[in-house]
Amino acid sequence: MAIGCEDQHKTPVPEERTCPVCGKDIEVFVVKGRVVEDAVCDCGYVIKADEAE
């Protein structure tokens, strides 16, 4: 299985977002700035994945 440069825009990268409820940093996975997976904060707040249009 070859991993080339072209895989980069498909590979989710971890990014920190600040929870609007408790102010904690939450790690979300993004591809090109788009959240691709729901992330749940310790306080229960959920950062929803961005919907594809």
Q: Count of residues binding Zn ion (CB under 5 A)?
A: 7
The yes or no reply on residue 47 touching Zn ion (CB under 5 A) is no
- For position 19 contacting Zn ion by CB under 5 A, the verdict is yes
Neighbouring C-alpha atoms within 13 Å toward the C-beta of 6: 1
CA gap 7, 1 in Å, rounded: 12
- Tokens found for residue 9: 């825009």
Comparison of 8 and 18: residue with beta carbon closer to Zn ion: 18
In degrees and rounded to multiples of 5, residue 46 shows phi and psi of -110, 125
Q: Is residue 43 close enough to count as binding Zn ion by CB under 5 A?
A: yes
Interacting residues with Zn ion (CB under 5 A): 19, 21-22, 24, 41, 43, 45
